[in-house]
Structure 1
Amino acid sequence: MLKKIFISAVLILAVLSFVVSLLKGNNNAEKTVTVPDRVAVINIYGTIISGADSKDNIFSQTNGVTSGSIMKQIREAAADDSVKALVLRIDSGGGSATAAEEVGRELKRFKEKTKKPIVATIGNTGASAAYWIAVCASDKVYANATTLTGSIGVYMPYMNTEELFKKIGITSNKIKSGPYKDIMSSDRPMTPEEQAILQNIVNEIYEQFVTTVAVGRKMEESKVKSLADGRVYTGLQAKNLGLVDEIGDYYDALAAAGELGKIKPGADGLPPVKAKEKQQPWEFLLSAHIAELIKTELVNQLTGSLQQSGAPAGGMTR
């Protein structure tokens, strides 16, 4: 029975992979056209997590943005000769420090390889990991006066559910290879030694964050640390403190990127923008529903096998 289910899943994935490859092939068969010098805009919205481009993983269901997705767009911009400047359009409360580090490294590679300007523009929020990305390699950083930004710091959350487990009669037992293998387990209090270990990790990442801001903003680390207690600042406060360069919106940042990249503006006074690749209808259907389709097929296969064997299938739920 399991062999039959496995074969069905493999066949479904094989057929879908074939369809995707055909559709992508047709979509890429486009005529070469001459394009003007332009700005590439990368949107960084929502929680920033480390990982591959969500488009490369049909089972990915994140409401934020992955470091892989951002890095892929940076590399595409670097490889496009028509792109003369890069704009990071940010509206994010932060996310993974590792994701910020990955994106920051890719932005620095972009600068080293292309020598082209980068301008960051922060909308409602550009805090923590999002601020890390905004300042790590940008020539200019824009924020609105009412933007919330900064939040320079690191934290590592954990909870202790030991008392709750006791109330509902759950006892946790484990066999471990070392005293710290279950560090941060929620079923017991954290020991002072464990707290010290994790505090050292948090402090180390914090120092990396401070250094990134100091280098990106051309500030003394001591000055950054005086501002880096985790608090957020308004855009106006951030400008007065040297954490951003200008008060302005996306269009101000776009115009600045055009000037820095020496791009001829259009009739609206703004440089041309590289249009974001539109998602094809088939891509949406596959990315949004493929997991559900496969699950349905597998459930049907399993239910059918149970019925054939005489076992009751009514206990299976979806």
Structure 2
Amino acid sequence: MSESRDAGVSEDRQLIEKLLMGALLEQRRSRRWKIFFRVLLFIWLFAAIGSVAFSMKSAKPQPQEYTALVEINGVIAADRDASADTVVTGLRGAFEDAKVKGVILRINSPGGSPVQAGYIYDEINRLKATREDVKVYAVISDVGASAAYYIASAADEVYADRASVVGSIGAYMATFGVTEAMEKVGVTRRFYGAGDHKALTDPFQPEDPVAAEHLRKTVGNIHEQFIESVKAGRGDRLSDDPSLFTGLIWTGEQAKDLGLVDGLGSSGYVAREVIGAEDIVDFTMKPNVLDRFASQIGASMAHTLSVSLGLEGPVVR
């Protein structure tokens, strides 16, 4: 009886010892994690303080005045990065900044919508009237053609590289016809609409001569608006070359002789030598990554579909 009691007490003692040892080990683990996190926090604080101190030490003093930069990059369209809303927002921000000494509109675009270009053209003229001390300089890099040059002509001065592509002052509307192919394949087009010329760009029906002539006049009217805007912006700097408004393109060097550009040089050159404020601050409005990705996917699909169906519409090119 005594032996069984002693055995029970021994087992209880062993159980208590195990519990105490477990608690002690848990306490030690907890203490180690606390120490680890404290060290980690100390390292983080040390790195943060060092980073701030380094940035304060290496930071350049803010310039008293600088050159503002607004980019027009890619096709000019309402659903692209080079939309009127995007460009105009950047221009307004530049003109509202008292430290801005001059504005560079850096252009690398083959053209696009005459409507979007017209919005930007008009806004440049409006903003120039609000601050006579700030001039706008268009700087063409690789390409500044069609609607892109439409916009450039609103600037006080236009610069380009010797090899830049400049000009293409014209307008067009493109479609196609597949009526003969449909007859060979045996496909019948069923179209239900109202209005004699509602299907004026339908590629699956024979060309309507009346509608075709109307479209030519419409595109011609857009071309005339383009020419008037360029003449208003460039004035007597333009040469009297008869090919100037025929839709041809020229190099920057040739464009200078024609009066389409005022000089040859990059954005850095214009900021340093022309404006006199070498420091450049980018005022271009840029969408966040998700918005840009969604916009590009949607725009790409819509553009591909419209081109495939011949519904691209009139563009200044």
Asked if Structure 1 and Structure 2 have the same fold, meaning a TM-score greater than 0.5 normalized by the shorter chain, the answer is: yes
What SS does structure 1 have at the residue aligned with 2:253? helix
**How many angstroms apart in 2 are the aligned matches of 1:277 and 1:230?**
29
1:95: Cα distance to partner?
0.8
Higher Rg of the two aligned structures = 2
**How many angstroms apart in 2 are the aligned matches of 1:246 and 1:222?**
15
Q: Structure 2 matches for 1:142-181, cutoff 5 A?
A: 142-181=159-198
**Residue 85 of structure 1: which of 102, 122, 140 is its match?**
102
**Residue 232 of structure 1: which of 249, 253, 272 is its match?**
249
Alpha carbons of 1:169 and 1:278: their partners in 2 closer, same or farther (altered >3 Å)?
same
**Residue 122 of structure 1: which of 140, 144, 167 is its match?**
140
Counterpart in 2 of 1:273?
280
Counterpart in 2 of 1:214?
231
Matched, 1:45 2:73: yes
Mapped contact 2:161–2:266 kept (Cα < 8 A): yes
Percent same amino acid at aligned positions?
Answer: 31
**How many angstroms apart in 2 are the aligned matches of 1:90 and 1:290?**
21
**How many angstroms apart in 2 are the aligned matches of 1:278 and 1:206?**
30
Alpha carbons of 1:256 and 1:167: their partners in 2 closer, same or farther (altered >3 Å)?
farther
Is there any run of 5+ residues in structure 1 with no aligned partner, and where? 1-32, 52-61, 260-264, 293-318
Q: Provide, for residues 55-98 of structure 1, a one-character-per-residue CA deviation record: whole Å limited to 9, x for no partner.
A: xxxxxxx4x52121111111222222222311010111111111
- Partner letter of residue 227 of structure 1? L
1:158: Cα distance to partner?
0.9
**How many angstroms apart in 1 are the aligned matches of 2:294 and 2:227?**
42
Counterpart in 1 of 2:293?
288
RMSD of equivalent CA atoms: 2.8
**How many angstroms apart in 2 are the aligned matches of 1:147 and 1:188?**
41
What SS does structure 2 have at the residue aligned with 1:244? coil
- Partner letter of residue 281 of structure 2? K
**How many angstroms apart in 1 are the aligned matches of 2:146 and 2:284?**
29
What SS does structure 2 have at the residue aligned with 1:102? helix
TM-score (norm 1): 0.67
Mapped contact 1:119–1:140 kept (Cα < 8 A): yes
What SS does structure 2 have at the residue aligned with 1:126? strand
1:48: Cα distance to partner?
0.7
**How many angstroms apart in 2 are the aligned matches of 1:96 and 1:278?**
19
What SS does structure 1 have at the residue aligned with 2:68? strand
1:253: Cα distance to partner?
1.9
Q: Structure 2 matches for 1:8-27, cutoff 5 A?
A: none
Aligned residues: 236
**Residue 141 of structure 1: which of 141, 158, 179 is its match?**
158
Alpha carbons of 1:108 and 1:290: their partners in 2 closer, same or farther (altered >3 Å)?
closer
Mapped contact 2:238–2:258 kept (Cα < 8 A): no
Mapped contact 1:119–1:257 kept (Cα < 8 A): no
- Partner letter of residue 128 of structure 1? S
**How many angstroms apart in 1 are the aligned matches of 2:282 and 2:238?**
39
Alpha carbons of 1:176 and 1:249: their partners in 2 closer, same or farther (altered >3 Å)?
same
**Residue 92 of structure 2: which of 62, 75, 78 is its match?**
75
Alpha carbons of 1:131 and 1:175: their partners in 2 closer, same or farther (altered >3 Å)?
same
1:248: Cα distance to partner?
1.4
Matched, 1:245 2:252: no
**How many angstroms apart in 2 are the aligned matches of 1:91 and 1:240?**
21
**How many angstroms apart in 1 are the aligned matches of 2:117 and 2:158?**
16
Q: Structure 2 matches for 1:302-317, cutoff 5 A?
A: none
Alpha carbons of 1:238 and 1:47: their partners in 2 closer, same or farther (altered >3 Å)?
same
Is there any run of 5+ residues in structure 2 with no aligned partner, and where? 1-60, 298-317
1:189: Cα distance to partner?
2.4
Alpha carbons of 1:72 and 1:247: their partners in 2 closer, same or farther (altered >3 Å)?
same
**How many angstroms apart in 2 are the aligned matches of 1:104 and 1:279?**
20
